Amino acid sequence: MLKALNSSCFRSRLHNLAPSFRPATESESPLLRVLGSLRGLGGRSTRLTCRAFFCSDANDVSAREAEIEAKVKEEDVEVKSSSAIVSTNPRPEDYLTVLALPLPHRPLFPGFYMPIYVKDPKLLAALQESRRRQAPYAGAFLLKDEPGTDSSTVSGSETEKNTSDLTGKELYDRLHEVGTLAQISSIQGDQVVLIGHRRLRITEMVSEDPLTVKVDHLKDKPYNKDDNVIKATSFEVISTLRDVLKTSSLWRDHVQTYTQHIGDFNFPRLADFGAAISGANKVQCQEVLEELDVYKRLKITLELLKKEMEINKIQESIAKAIEEKISGEQRRYLLNEQLKAIKKELGLETDDKTALSAKFRERLEPVKDKCPQHVAQVIEEELAKLQLLEASSSEFNVTRNYLDWLTVLPWGVYSDENFDVLGAQKILDEDHYGLTDVKERILEFIAVGKLRGSSQGKIICLSGPPGVGKTSIGRSIARALNRKFFRFSVGGLVDVAEIKGHRRTYIGAMPGKMVQCLKSVGTANPLVLIDEIDKLGRGHAGDPASALLELLDPEQNANFLDHYLDVPIDLSKVLFVCTANVIEMIPNPLLDRMEVIAIAGYITDEKMHIARDYLEKATREACGIKPEQVEVTDAALLGLIENYCREAGVRNLQKHIEKIYRKIALHLVRNGASNEAELAEIVESNEEKADIVDESSKSSSGSESQVDGELIDESSQDQKIESSAEAEKISSDLLADDSLPNQPVDAKDDESDVTNKVEKVIVDSTNLADYVGKPVFHAERIYNQIPVGVVMGLAWTAMGGSTLYIETTQVEQGEGKGALHITGQLGDVMKESAQIAHTLARAILLEKEPDNPFFANTKLHLHVPAGATPKDGPSAGCTMMTSLLSLAMKKPVKKDLAMTGEVTLTGKILPIGGVKEKTIAARRSEVKTIIFPSANRRDFDELASNVKEGLDVHFVDEYSQIFNLAFEDKSE
């Protein structure tokens, strides 16, 4: 029976009743004295602002209920359904069949209230009907978890959803057997407020919709109130409650409300109260509800309260730690702000310096663990120094700039390298055709790095003529290795400070190129391309080539010292790639630290592939031309390569291809503009003709005579005939293109047709000169039939290999007039070669033809054509000597023959350089037979098969072998 209402007036009336109507207090009981102290913690004068419903055991207070009801009737107090005690006639224990209400979260304990939401409309209607029939009781049973699910991981919304879906037998199977008889206090919408009375046990199901069950009313097992064990356990529960109540105001409100409306605690109520307000899960609470042994129930409750106490202690420690942390940070923040204000008043510090220091420290934070110790120490010293300097002083700006550079460098930051050999091979093949030597060297570098697990920096020098792709190869290597790329050219560099940096004391001082590179790329293992290293200058500011020694020396660059930073920098992980046209121009100490990879150039077949697969495609896209609009034939490309672009590289070839496509673009645009003008004229004329047709048709229809249905105006008839002729003409104009007859043709169709009328541009060998002009080169074979005294030689130039003729002729002849005159802008080495050849030729002629005094009595003139081009080198001796002997013996040399090599006074043949370039030059000049020194046999064998294909190569050690080959002497 409910003992108290939430109405304050009714509560005051209860307190004003006679003492006989109030619950008797057993002040002599020590348990209740302790509970009385518990009750006083909340303060009796405190007003409760929330509604609370509690009930007591109906058997204990049945007499007092009757007296209270009688008193209420006498005062004619009207009790509303939302707040009054519902009549309990018949008594609660008389209800043996009740509606089953599922509780999803926690069980309902006797003496406590619980609001629930009923989604089932039939069940809600049944509850309302029971309340109207003065039978406001139902059974509240905890819902079991769904099999195979964890109750700790299921959200409340999911549980309520599952509960609302259960009905009938399925719901009955999911209910716990032990529940609570609950009084229906109020129903507002779908919210039902329940008040627990006593424990129930389900015996059987009566009906399914709504679920109705038969129940047995449970009572606590008998116990001895004077049992010391029970008393001790209850005292411990009370002591734990008091400890918890000291930390939680919510618990104090629970105790106050409970004692005001229920009365003093006894052992069963104490156990239920502790379990109900604890934070235990629903399974543990259900265990307390099902336990009928009061002692065991007290023990379970004590365990739950002890756990709650431990949780409160952990909560207090967490709160204390957070509070101390927050208070410490706040204290430090306040002190820092006060320090800033004091220093600002004294002029010791400005806000700019603080911001700068914070910025520098923020930059350094990501690489703090990787930064070398000596660098971190320098940074800290400079930061401390910055705080003591005046912002207006010159030293302040120097220190600020110095810290800016120190903190922006990627100390210990490395990019992830690619050790995939196949992937790197694919990237290199995509970017470049040929260049097998370079690609193999890069793949070797990747393979070594993969086996070692890490890569070390190397210094590679790519040497070759201009335009062979040295710079682009460096960029492709960086992409294949997944490294950052940085390029700087040292061509014409005369200032050492560009490499080593300036001293910080100089105005406008800056670090060197390597420090700038590291700042730009953001990693400590980039690929650095040093371009044109063979064109280093030397001025008053020092020798840059010597300054590069420390940068490129693998033994020294791990501690490279920049003059500006003045701290060692590790460059051992950097991959340096240098480019040069002529390695002879590189100082030997610097060249000694490099690994030279020679790129000789491209033969005609390679140039064709490069032009077709790379250059033409890129140029076409750059010019905005579609592939179907233009076609450059293989014959045109071959003519372009042979007659316009004979150099070793492909840069000039790219320029000529761009020139062709620019002219094609202009041709397409001009045709498009003329077609647009033609289209506009066609559309305009069509509109005019259509107007004429409309007017003529109208006039003809209006001028027809309707008199007797037979007479027709002659003038209108003539006009009609003319109009029909005009219409036929317009139709024929509109259908002049490929469109189908009897279909409407609009301006858009005309435009598309005109666009289709633009013919595809075909560039062939016949019209190549219209795009790139007259051929620059002609066949290098000046002579179809080699005359006496003329021999073809093979030469190496900075642009690749080339062939040149050496010509010798007779000036005058007379006794003792033997002499040699040399022209062709020859260098000292070639002049010496000519003198050696003249001397040795006299000896060989004397051996072959003892009676021939040609050299003794003849003044000779030896000339190398293209006199405007300087020529020098130690590989023309054999050619000059053969030219002299050809003239002396009046025998021409073998057809399609070219030779190279230096000769000594004893007739030995010395090795030469540029084997690949000279071989390419021989193929370009359609040479069939080549004479090389025997020392160059291995160099020739290493050439690609397509380079040496179709050539008859002879290797000689002495000039006598050349003599036999050149003059078709078959004796040997």
Extract the annotated binding site.
Answer: 464-471
Please say if 918 is a catalytic residue: yes
Half-sphere exposure of 384 (CA within 13 A, CB side): 5
Six-digit token string for 346? 């004294």
- Helices and strands, counts by H and E, the chain: 34, 24
C-beta separation of 109 from 276 below 8 A: yes
Alpha-carbon distance of 675 to 673, in angstroms, equals: 5
The C-alpha torsion from 849 through 853 and 854 to 859, rounded to 10°, is 160
Q: Which of 875, 883, 886, 925 is catalytic?
A: 875
Alpha-carbon distance of 614 to 432, in angstroms, equals: 8
Beta bridge partners of 205: 213
Nearest Cα to Cα of residue 101 among 167, 148, 162, 24: 167
C-beta separation of 872 from 896 below 8 A: no
Nearest Cα to Cα of residue 274 among 242, 249, 314, 246: 242
Scanning the structure block, which residue is given the tokens 């051929």? 775
User: What is the number of other CB atoms lying within 10 angstroms of the CB of residue 549?
Assistant: 16
Radius of gyration of the chain (CA): 55
Six-digit token string for 329? 């940070």
Six-digit token string for 311? 């949780």
Scanning the structure block, which residue is given the tokens 């059974």? 139
Q: What's the helix, strand, coil split of the chain in %, to 5?
A: 50, 15, 35
Residues with Cβ within 8 Å of 176's Cβ and at least 6 positions away in sequence, in order, are 107, 141, 142, 143, 144, 286, 290
Residues with Cβ within 8 Å of 808's Cβ and at least 6 positions away in sequence, in order, are 789, 790, 860, 861, 862, 863, 880, 883, 884, 886, 887
Six-digit token string for 747? 């301006």
Residues with Cβ within 8 Å of 770's Cβ and at least 6 positions away in sequence, in order, are none
Q: Which amino acid is at 893?
A: V
Output DSSP code: residue 958: B
Q: Which amino acid is at 1?
A: M
Alpha-carbon distance of 883 to 881, in angstroms, equals: 5
Beta bridge partners of 530: 488, 578
Q: Which of 3, 871, 918, 948 is catalytic?
A: 918
- In order, the DSSP letters of 38-69 are HHHTT-TTPPP-S----B--TTTSHHHHHHHH
Extract the annotated binding site for ATP.
Answer: 464-471
How far is Cα of residue 161 from the mean position of the Cα atoms in its chain? Answer: 44
- In order, the DSSP letters of 458-503 are -EEEEE--TTS-HHHHHHHHHHHHT--EEEEE-TT---THHHH---
Alpha-carbon distance of 464 to 578, in angstroms, equals: 11
Nearest Cα to Cα of residue 347 among 380, 381, 389, 397: 389
- Measured CA distances, 786 to 363, 502, 966 (Å): 75, 63, 12
Q: Containing H/E element for 428?
A: helix 421-431
Q: Containing H/E element for 632?
A: strand 630-632
Task: Give phi and psi for 471, each to the nearest 5.
Answer: -65, -45
Residues with Cβ within 8 Å of 482's Cβ and at least 6 positions away in sequence, in order, are 415, 416, 417, 418
Alpha-carbon distance of 257 to 366, in angstroms, equals: 58
Residues with Cβ within 8 Å of 466's Cβ and at least 6 positions away in sequence, in order, are 581, 647, 649, 651, 798, 799
Q: Which amino acid is at 408?
A: V
Which residues carry out catalysis? 875, 918
